[in-house]
Amino acid sequence: MTKERIGFVGVGLMGHGMAGNIVDKGFPLTVVGHRNREPVEDLLARGAAEAHSGRELAERSDIVVLCVTGSPQVEAVINGPEGLAAAGKPLLICDSSTSDPSVTIRLAAELAPKGITLIDTPLGRTPKDAAAGTLDVMVGGAPEVVARARPVLEAFAGRVIPTGPVGSGHTMKLLNNFLSMGYAALYAEALTLGVKAGLTPKTFDSVIRGGRMDCGFYQTFFQWVLERDPNAHKFTLSNALKDMTYLAGFANATSTANPMGAAVRNSYALAAGAGRAQDYVPMLSDVVAELNGVSLTGN
């Protein structure tokens, strides 16, 4: 059976591992050049081809996977002057970015008359899981379209979870990130309160680890706190703020009171305002500690 031709936009922290699994598992893969040439050159060495515009990528692909920052970038990739839609051909687009669900729904409706089908395929887990092919993928789209996309998604996913119609995957992703970013904000404040009371991060961890409040996210967060491993969880505070801002927009659109969401968002807005936007999420613990005049290291 001939495999569909896959295009990929966004071979960054997550996208490089995803695209690597796609080409390694035998799909004809074309990527659009990235500002960082290292992942592109790696993929080319593994058998991928390179396109120099979204239009060229679309011409050479049946299915295109997007893994960019958010909705503005998705719209630019699709509808820009040399974007995917400019090719004027049928296409299935899988948006693995963390996007605004309302934009996803609108884009899908606008693209359908052009023969372009857009579904949302956002991701759970980390760049390490992307490289290992063990990501979680939440999929919003019609069942027959999800079935078509599934072989590609399974190239880089351990779990593919249909969530309902278009937009539901991105909504579920925002809820997933609300939980994880909320945990990070809680950990950061709890650690600072502990240090104020003379409880070291190591003591804190000795109580939580292995107990009911332990989880995979806690472990990668504390890989930074205790071991100072900068690669423990490579997701920037600016991206966390963007996701929590999308959540706030969703809450406003649905007239839903979300005081916890507002508090979590403000933790990341505070960190970004302090000049730490490009730090990774576990480093929020240091930001909160510093703003309170304490340090988590050497304790």
pLDDT band at 13 (very low <50, low <70, confident <90, very high): confident
Domains located in the chain, CATH noted: 6-165 (3.40.50.720), 171-291 (1.10.1040.10)
User: Which tens digits make up the pLDDT trace of 21-50?
Assistant: 999 999 999 999 877 899 999 999 999 999
User: Which tens digits make up the pLDDT trace of 246-292?
Assistant: 999 999 989 999 999 999 999 999 999 999 999 999 999 999 999 99
Q: For position 1, what pLDDT does the model report?
A: 64
Q: For position 299, what pLDDT does the model report?
A: 57
Q: Exposed, middle or buried by CB within 10 Å (0-12, 13-18, 19+), for 144?
A: exposed
Mean predicted confidence (pLDDT) in 229-238? 93
pLDDT for 95 beyond 70: yes
Side-chain-side CA neighbours of 101 within 13 Å: the count stands at 26
* DSSP alpha helix (H) spans, the chain: 15-24, 37-45, 54-59, 71-79, 101-111, 127-132, 143-153, 168-196, 201-208, 216-227, 237-253, 259-271, 284-291
Residue with tokens 């893969």: 29
Q: For position 100, what pLDDT does the model report?
A: 92
Q: For position 2, what pLDDT does the model report?
A: 79
**CA-to-CA distance for 41 and 22, rounded, in angstroms?**
15
pLDDT band at 298 (very low <50, low <70, confident <90, very high): confident
